[in-house]
Each structure stands twice: as structure tokens, then as C-alpha cells.
Structure 1
């Protein structure tokens, strides 16, 4: 929220507190509610407005509702509030969307891709997962897993024993991150 708008909201909120009588206090609340409605119509969140005015979110929401009943959803003449920036939400790609990008650029691999990268069998991949060496496994459904490239690289770089990967060494490296 721009500093100028936050400052105006703080000032009009202060006017409520210094009202001399009940009638003046009611007029001030109606005017402030109209300003709050204009801010909501401009895209600002009620929580942002409430914080700037020092109100509880619930009280601010009730005031905006009252202003909507009184003024409707028409354009409020004489009240100019800057538009809120569009919300910036990062959408996490779904597992299926992940699989549609080239393998070389992905952090998540299907079982066949993970087996090809590590040059292992499906049984070895399953054993690594069941022994906790691939802790960041995501499941598409109960039978299809996605494996984190970083987990696979960590296991592949681990020292070898006579029977394969040294599980203790890998688990020791994983433990600080979990």
C-alpha cells in the first residue's frame, strides 16, 4: 500500500477518535467507510486497510459491507484511490506439468528417468527409497513416484561398500537438511 494512502487512512481513523459528540462520530464513520469501500473497489485487501487504520479485520469488513449497502457497487464520485497492484502468486507446477518439460532441465524425474540417470535397476531404486536415501520423493498416485535429482546425485556420489551404496554415509549427509 502506498505510504500516502496509508497515511490518509491513519488520519481519517484518528478523526473518529477525536469526534466531539455521537452525531459527529457517526458521520465520521460513514465517511471513513465510504473511503474504505473506495479502497476495496480499487483492489486493496480489507486486511491492508484495517492494518493502516488500526482496526480489527472483522470491524473493517463490517464497515465495508455497510458502505456497500448504502452506496451500492456504483463508482464512488469524489473519492480517488490508487489502484492496487495485481496479486503476484507463484503457482507451483503440478507433477504432470513437471513431466512435460525436458529431462535435462527438471529437478524431478520419473522412475525410468531416475534409473537411467543412476544406471540402476528398478529394484535398486526402490531399495534406496525404502531405506530413506531418497527422502524427497513425491507421488503422482499410489504407484508412480517422482524422484528429486538432488537426492539421486547425493546417493550416486556416496562411497561404495561391497554391496553397493554406503547407506550410513548418505543418511549422515541427509540428516542435517531434514
Structure 2
């Protein structure tokens, strides 16, 4: 019988999937775990990574349903009937000031005092979304009146995509606006 190499010896002592599934700070909630070896020593300096998953998906569905249900109803109303006056994001004075600064800078760079109205509207929408939802995943629509946010966060966006037919949500834009600076 040939002698075992150092890697083969370590492989024999490597935890099984069953052993890894019970390792972690709270074994009762640890459903999936993994092992990560360091670059310097395969296996000997292993670190256990624990990824927790929710205990009951039914419990999570109830929680998300209470939060997402009204969002879906609102989104469907807006996409079917059009947004009402209270659905639009409010434009604060600070946003208007920043847009004015942006447009002044653009005018100086272009060398013309006239910018198209589309430039003003696009800059206002970008600054408005950044002020309210900067750095977050959102689903929104825009029109000549302003911006209407339909969903915030990946859970809400996922439900919006899965539960509202494409024919109704063709105009929805998905994105993550820049963080307000």
C-alpha cells in the first residue's frame, strides 16, 4: 500500500456534509454551511461560514404579504388608472436648488444658455430619486408631471414582476439611483 500524501490525510479529516450542516453559532437555525480554506494551508486553517435561512416560509409569506399586499394594490392601480396627485414624489427646495446648479454647470460646459426641456426633466428625476431612494433598488415610472415609485427593495420588485402582467408594467423602470451627495 502506497503512503498517503499530506493532502489525502487532510481530506480524510475533512468534515462531511452532515457535520458541516450542524456547525455554526446557532445550529438550530443553521441550514446551510460551507467551509473556506486559507491559501496557506489547505484544510487545516478552515473557517466555517454559516448562512441562515428562515425557519418557516409560511411565516415569512404572511409577513411579506402584509407589507407587500398594499404595495401591489397601489402599483396595479397606478399602472391601470394612472397616478393620482398624491402618488408623485415631492420635490423639495434642496432638490430644486441642486438641479439648478447642475443645469447652470451644463450651460457653462455647452456654452449655450438654452437647454432642452428634456434635460431639465431628466436631471430633476435623477436628483429626486437620489434624494428619496439613493442606493436602493426601486421600480418607478416617470411622466411629464413627475416620478412615481412603485416598489422599493428586491422583495417588492420581485413580487411586482411576478404578479403584475408585463402588458401593464411595460413602462416601469428598474434601477438603483445614485446616493444623494
TM-score normalized by structure 1?
A: 0.22
Considering fraction of residues, name the structure with more strand: 2
TM-score normalized by structure 2?
A: 0.22
With a CA cutoff of 8 Å and minimum separation of 6, indicate the structure with the bigger relative contact order: 2
